[in-house]
Amino acid sequence: MTGRCSGVTAHRTSARPRNRCSPRPTVSASAGCPTTGPGTAVSTRNPGRDLASAGTDIAAIADDLGIDRFAVVGHSGGGSHALAAAALLGDRVTGVVSMAGLAPFTADGLDWYAGMIPSGEASLRAAAAGPAAKDRHEASDVEYDPEFTPADLAALAGPWSWLGGVAGAGMASGPGGLIDDDLAYVNPWGSDPTGIVAPTLLLHGGRDGIVPSAHGAWLAAHCPTAEWWFRPDDGHISVLNAAAPALDWLIEHG
């Protein structure tokens, strides 16, 4: 499910990242992993939150740090959170990168579940049926199978191996954050991604069964500031191999 590997991060755009291959978190899980959200790792749960609430959180953190403008980057469900944050925060966001992100549940003309792996579709359909149904689904013995592609497995065995630690830390306190993520994906975002004013880069792999590429294509067609990078041979994880050029794009356009 998308919530099992989602994250959104805010970056200054005045300096290049030190690790250009696979941007590793710079904060330990014990301190609150920057690629997880409410209800994951040591963060407390915030039931009923929408995707745009990520923007409120990011703005509060930036205010505390004295940062006026920044870029947002997210992968999987974190990509959707990044888009919602950029739509909410307007010209305070200098640029946004969404990799393998979901489109809004009510996206006109998009068959939202088409092409999803069976276990991911079942989990999100449970969320669409409401909180009680989602709780029952997560409490059942149904296993989630991400059906990673060979390219995904190679990425996880190589430069993106640290993602396993992030996912494990995020689930350490239980499935609450994951449940709230999935509920947010199938409910109104709280902001409209088609109104984003910042330069936007959308990346998607053609072999992604967790978030099918039709989601990225829909966003690219409906977000007026968007640039679309379609990678036909990539899956949900291996699309992250384009993170370094995506961050270069962000610096150039942000």
CA distances from 99 to 131, 135, 166, 175, 235 (A): 27, 28, 17, 23, 11
Dihedral class, residue 79 (left if φ above 0, else alpha if ψ from -120 to 50, else beta) = alpha
Q: What residues make up the domain containing 109?
A: 2-253
pLDDT in tens, the chain (254 residues): 344 444 555 555 444 444 455 556 554 444 434 445 665 655 677 788 999 999 999 999 999 999 999 999 999 999 999 999 999 999 999 999 999 999 999 999 999 999 999 999 999 999 999 999 999 999 998 889 999 999 999 999 999 999 888 887 777 778 888 999 999 999 999 999 999 999 999 999 999 999 999 999 999 999 999 999 999 999 999 999 999 999 999 999 97
Query: How far is it, in rounded angstroms, from Cα 201 to Cα 107?
Result: 19
Torsion from C-alpha of 86, 89, 95, 101, nearest 10 degrees: -10
- The total number of structural domains in the chain stands at 1
Longest distance between any two alpha carbons in the chain, whole Å? 47
Residue pair 209/235 in contact by the 8 Å Cβ criterion: yes
CATH for 223: 3.40.50.1820
pTM: 0.87
